[in-house]
């Protein structure tokens, strides 16, 4: 349907349910999405020597009440991004669920024929042990709540976190429990 300033597209499938709004002057204004659910399978990215320009991602503000990726529930999620030349500015990536909360912002850019990702933010859980069990992460951590504030960078895309090349700071605060 169309209003005086934008088009609305209803999306209804087993994996996605919600509404997408595309303004008449897109991409000068952000595309918006309000979803009840987005269920994404695990995605395997093929090796590609030609780099994608993150600055070509359209501006968007997306919200969902329930995001799941590879069977990991992230709860309510907001994503707000704005392209700028050869970079994508991540204004906000926010998640809120019973086991995990977080708020992240940063930049994904292409520079000298490689990607660079810089992210700042925090994540917290009131029950890290239950979160790890739910996500099938093997850990000797017992009990405890925790919060991590971070400022991290790595020479690749946001979806390709490279622990060996990771640089930055993490302030980890854990509650009662043991390892």
pLDDT by residue (tens digit) across 133-159?
Answer: 887 888 877 778 989 999 999 999 898
Whole-number pLDDT of residue 62: 97
Q: Above 80 in pLDDT, residue 127?
A: yes
> pTM score, two decimals?
0.87
Burial 28-46 (b: 16+ CB within 10 A, else e): ebbbbbebeebbeeeeeee
């Amino acid at each position: 349907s169309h209003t005086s300033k934008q088009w609305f597209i209803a999306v209804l499938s087993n994996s996605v349910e919600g509404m997408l709004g595309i303004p008449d002057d897109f991409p000068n204004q952000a595309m918006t999405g309000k979803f009840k659910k987005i269920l994404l399978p695990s995605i395997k990215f093929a090796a590609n020597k030609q780099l994608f320009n993150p600055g070509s991602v359209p501006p968007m503000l997306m919200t969902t009440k329930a995001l799941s990726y590879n069977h990991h529930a992230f709860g309510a999620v907001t994503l707000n991004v704005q392209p700028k030349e050869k970079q994508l500015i991540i204004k906000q990536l926010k998640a809120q669920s019973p086991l995990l909360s977080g708020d992240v912002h940063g930049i994904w850019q292409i520079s000298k024929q490689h990607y660079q990702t810089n992210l700042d933010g925090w994540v917290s859980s009131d029950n890290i042990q239950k979160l790890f069990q739910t996500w099938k992460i093997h850990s000797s951590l017992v009990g405890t709540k925790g919060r991590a504030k971070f400022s991290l960078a790595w020479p690749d895309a946001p979806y390709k976190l490279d622990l060996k090349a990771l640089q930055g700071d993490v302030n980890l605060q854990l509650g009662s429990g043991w390892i």
